[in-house]
Structure 1
Amino acid sequence: MALKHEQDASSYQPHQSVQHALRVLDAVAHGGAGITDGELVRETGLPADQLTALLRMLRREGYVQQTADGAYVTGETLSSLGSTEGGAAALTAKLQRTLDELRDTVGAAIYMSRYIDGEVHITQYASGPETPAVNEWVDFRVSAHASAIGKSLLGQLDLDGRRDHLSRHKMARLTSRTITNEKVLLSKLATQPATVPVLDLQEYAVGTVCAAVPITAGSAVGCLALSLPVEHAHRLHDAAEALNKSAAPLLLSMAI
């Protein structure tokens, strides 16, 4: 089984959207009492249709708001995340709200993960009765070779970093689909397009399929992932594409 129409999934680039969103936010922040759509087009150099889509996302996420006359000013989310006091707590809460919304929209359990001090860490997740989380029957820290999360994180490291990780964690066979050959895994990681979701098709656990996309902010290595019961595998392509498109708001929160 493979993702159909991989180019569809790779056509959206969250990092580019975040750079454009930061440009818009900078213009709004310097707009004083408010800045209009026309002024934003001139200030940012972005096409009007692209700007409209960005402003829609920024309003939804609370980064900007409109005044009575239609001008844009900074929103509550931007103020809280930029605060020196309570900024970290505000970021955690904002990310969790976004994960919860994504869980309900996509209809899958959602995870955020980071590669910290040479190990895989699930930092936040959103699940529910209809969207159960993966049963961590093998510690995620020692099964990066088999999970979508692990492969996405390893894929963001350089070759030495990947080899170092694999030297510390034996590539155990968790299911009949698990890749246990280091050369094969390194080859797959090297040829994985950065904007195409990484898949786990029952490689970590029988009965579960997963997808993950990178959400690297600065030097931090991270990813956003989802899991589905194998009976919902037919939804994996659309869910993975939605996941990729939803990475921008999370990246934006982390970049501010």
Structure 2
Amino acid sequence: MIGSVQRALRLLEAVGVHADGAPAKQLARETGLPLPTTYHLLRTLTHEGYLRRENGLFVFGEAAEAIGQAGARRRRRTHIAEALAMAGRELRAAVYFAVYREGEVDVVAVTDDPERPPVEEWVDFRATAHAHAIGQCLLAQLDDEARKEHLARYPVQSMTPFSVRTEDDLLQRLDTVRRGHVAYEQQEYALGTVCAAIPVQVGSAAAALAVSLPIHELHRLRTVTDQLRTMAEATLTTLAFSISI
């Protein structure tokens, strides 16, 4: 069975060399496989969606393309993580990158520095967008219909004594976020932590960069946020090209 897998992979590699596809006989020659074996494997790979046959030529199918896209996404996420780690060291803060897609808050990457640990997700970030700076920044970028639909699924609820209490309070907060292009939040999601998030341009999607600090460093929050904005404009704009939305 392992030998069959190896031979199938050799065929996929050979197909990948030919942008316009290649016939079975050519693939057999290039891989050194017997023609009957080549035909058998090509039929199997085609049946499973890894290849498709067009005018007698074999090209990658949707399944193979999906594998390639998944690998590309992992590489992009690694690139984002490295960019955030660099920002976190310079800012001496936990740094986050998040997007809003398919109706959900998706925290794509966050720094992992034990000296500056990120906020512990004690309640699902997706269900508590109203209570943290990332979510408020993303919700502020949505149109009225999308925001209303989100809050219908995830109603406003108090997470801490400092959280917004009602949907009306949240909507007023989001107006302030839109005007200032920044969301500040003090202990609304997690006690002992303050956060800020700024919108970033990533295609047509709502996205945000954010920082968090311990409460005793509240005095640094605005300065760190301004520095994050400068870094986003100068160097982290590559995020727009580093994630598939």
Q: TM-score range by the shorter chain?
A: 0.5 to 0.7
Structure 2: distance between partners of 1:193 and 1:114 = 16
* Alignment of 1:243 onto 2:214: no
Deviations 1:166-200 (A, max 9, x none): 11012111111111211121122123245532111
CA contact (8 A) 1:195 1:213 kept: no
Write the mapping of 1:13-162 to structure 2, written as runs, cut at 5 A. 88-162=73-147
SS state at 1:144 partner: helix
Aligned residue for 2:107, secondary structure, equals strand
Residue 90 of structure 1: how far off its partner (Å) = 4.2
Could you tell me which of 200, 203, 208 is aligned with 1:223?
A: 208
Quick one: higher RCO (CA 8 Å, sep 6+), 1 or 2?
1
Instruction: Give the Cα separation in 2 of the matches to 1:182 and 1:112.
Output: 25
Structure number with bigger Rg: 2
| Separation (CA, whole Å) in 2 of partners of 1:135 and 1:94 | 23
Structure 2, gaps ≥5 residues long: 1-68
Could you list the per-position Cα deviations for residues 127-182 of structure 1 after superposition, in whole angstroms to 9, with x for gaps in the alignment? 31210110111110111001000000001101111111111012111111111211
Report the TM-score, using the length of structure 1 for normalisation. Answer: 0.63
Residue 240 (structure 2) aligns with: 254
Quickly say closer, same or farther: Cα 1:252–1:145, change in 2 above 3 A: same
Cα gap change, 1:230/1:239 in structure 2, threshold over 3 Å: closer, same or farther? same
Unaligned runs of 5+ in 1: 1-83
Query: Amino acid of the residue matched to residue 237 of structure 2?
Result: L
Q: Which amino acid aligns with 1:182?
A: E
Partner of 1:77: none
Could you say if the C-alpha distance between residues 242 and 121 of structure 1 is closer, same or farther in structure 2, counting changes exceeding 3 Å?
same
Q: Is the 8 A contact 2:157 2:166 kept in 1?
A: no
- Cα deviation code 1:195-241 (max 9, x no counterpart): 53211111111100000011131212111111111011111011111
Change (3 A) 1:194 1:214: farther
- Give the conservation status (yes or no) of the 8 Å contact 2:105–2:126: yes
Give aligned-pair identity as a percent: 38
1:175 to 157, 160, 167: 160
Take 2:143 and 2:125, find their aligned partners in 1: how far apart are those partners? Answer: 20
**By percentage of residues, which structure has more helix?**
2
Instruction: Give the TM-score normalised by the residue count of structure 2.
Output: 0.65
C-alpha separation between the residues in 2 aligned to 1:85 and 1:166?
31
Does the CA contact (< 8 Å) of 1:103 and 1:109 recur in 2? yes
How many aligned residue pairs are there?
173
Code of the residue aligned with 2:101 in structure 1: it is I
Which residue identity is paired with 1:181?
T
Residue in structure 2 matching 1:233, options 211, 218, 229: 218
Amino acid at match of 1:190: D
CA contact (8 A) 1:197 1:244 kept: no
Per the alignment, residue 199 of structure 2 pairs with 214
SS in 2 for 1:203: coil
